[in-house]
Amino acid sequence: MSELYHECGVAAVYHLPSDEVSLLLPEGDPNKTSNLMSRLLLDIQNRGQLAAGMTTFNPNRSQLIDTHKDVGTVNEVFHLNHEEQFKKLMKEYEGPAAIGHTRYATCGKDDRSYAQPFERHHIEKPKWFSFAFNGQLANYPELRDEILQQTNHHLARETDTEILLHMLSQELSSTPDHDLLTILKSLSGRLDGAYNIVYLNSLGEMFVARDPQGIRPLCYAIDGPLFAAASESVALTNLGFPAESIKNLEPGHAILIRDGILEKKQFAESSRKAHCFFEWIYFANVCSNLDERSVYLTRKRLGEELAEQETVEIDEDTIVVPVPDTAKAAADSMAYQLKIPSLEGLIRNRYIGRTFIEGNNNRAAKVRAKYTPLPEVLDGKRVFLVEDTIVRSTTMKALISQLRERGKAKEIHVRVACPPIVSPCFYGIDMSTIQELFAPRFLNDDSLELTPEIEARMAEELGADTLRYLPMESVARSVELPASSLCQACINRDYPTPAGKALYEQAVVNLTDPASWNNGGHERTYDRSAEVSATRT
């Protein structure tokens, strides 16, 4: 699913004042936290490859908090392949506390000014802070207009992260004693959408917060005096935290560290949980556990669901081939249930840089460069091609073409370990308009019923022999959470927040408005919503 991206990942680490020694920090040295941060970010690199950065706190330097960030991967930004440069950087940014971020943008440009964390300097220590943000604010247009309507206020970037920067600054100025829990409570009443926030100020105060719906995952662990948090559990596991110490932060809760004391506090009521089901299906590392549910086991169960509904005749020339890499667990599981081989007939080239791939406007050329079909595996075979999902269909079309032309496959039966994507996401996934999606072109707007006839028309459009999606109820069964605890808006149009519902209504208007088809029909719903809002005001 190379045509779909997540927004970002966040991390935090703090070596608390204590006589205890953490085995994760050699000799209990609190200045090793910068090194730990780079390792945390490397393990959540899957959540964003555009930029990376960290802010560290050290009371013994003039820059009490200081930020290092740049465009590029974690390896590039932190010089992980150049030992001397890496050591110099870690020495410069040593300190007992750090926050960090990896970025893929659903809004904003690909330059350093958009890289996170965002740091705000101030002569007053409580007002000198840095923060990083994972998610997407569905009410971004309204929040932006509120700021711009105030005299002499200006926004330099087209991103909700800058909105949060100004909102945090305003709350700090208006909150007695600059109490962080009070600030979070006030912010939660104004924010609509998905937001995980890691925050650090020049007093060495930190908070790690998860939105009231828990849309994006956030995990934390404590080992003696060492606290760490990250978007995914695998980062904490690989750092060395025991499995039993790794917890999921409850929606509407925050970990606060003040005066060297760590507390977990609730800052907002959680009217309903709405964990993004796509985290288990695609985004998260297969080694992670999110909200007490294994990513690997979820994908395994999705494969079993695919096998249960299979009707195509199977013979000795039938094989299962996963689209690398995240579809592999589902493909292997499906093949095991059907008692046929799961073979890597499609190899992904992991060493082609992002700039080359994304800089080429020809989708077929991108796929040819990124994926290599193996004729020795595919020639003359009936292939079940297993994919996580189909979003825009451009990659799938090109893959099927390559499997036929270069791989010499006899038949290609596409099996999708997810229901059809029918609606945009306004909570942190890079699909913002209806017209860019594949499935809505074939489905009835009212019922969303997926019939064999519709799947046949879809298969013909893709160039496949057959196509089959999973039914909606397979998702909750596979994740093993109630459907009411999941955000499935992109497959059922049930948005868990008011601003998400409003943006979907705008997306429907955009679908029939020729003005929304600028840039090949990929103008963001945010953009049109802002245009309408500006017209009103």
> Which residues are known catalytic residues?
8
Q: Which residues pair with 193 in a beta bridge?
A: 137
Alpha-carbon distance of 79 to 93, in angstroms, equals 14
Alpha-carbon distance of 176 to 489, in angstroms, equals 39
Print the SS3 string covering 234-300. HHHHHHCCCHHHEEECCCCEEEEEECCEEEEEECCCCCCCCEECHHHHHHCCCCCEECCEEHHHHHH
Q: Distance of CA 225 to CAs 16, 96, 250, 261, Å?
A: 5, 11, 22, 10
Asked if residues 385 and 373 have their Cβ atoms less than 8 Å apart, the reply is no
- Of 228, 204, 31, the closest CA to residue 126 belongs to 204
User: In 3-state terms, what secondary structure has residue 441?
Assistant: helix
Classify each residue of 204-233 as buried b or exposed e, where b means 16 or more C-beta atoms within 10 Å of its C-beta.
Answer: bbbbbbbbbbbbbbbbbbbbbbbbbbbbbb
Asked if residues 527 and 510 have their Cβ atoms less than 8 Å apart, the reply is no
Asked if residues 191 and 267 have their Cβ atoms less than 8 Å apart, the reply is no
Q: CB 364: neighbour CB atoms within 10 A? A: 15
Alpha-carbon distance of 466 to 458, in angstroms, equals 8
Q: Distance of CA 517 to CAs 146, 164, 390, 467, Å?
A: 27, 30, 21, 28
Q: Which residues pair with 55 in a beta bridge?
A: 67, 99
Vertex 492: Cα angle to 490 and 493 (nearest 5): 70
Classify each residue of 298-335 as buried b or exposed e, where b means 16 or more C-beta atoms within 10 Å of its C-beta.
Answer: bbbbbbbbbbeeeeeeeeeebbbbbbbebbbbbbbbbb
Alpha-carbon distance of 171 to 180, in angstroms, equals 9
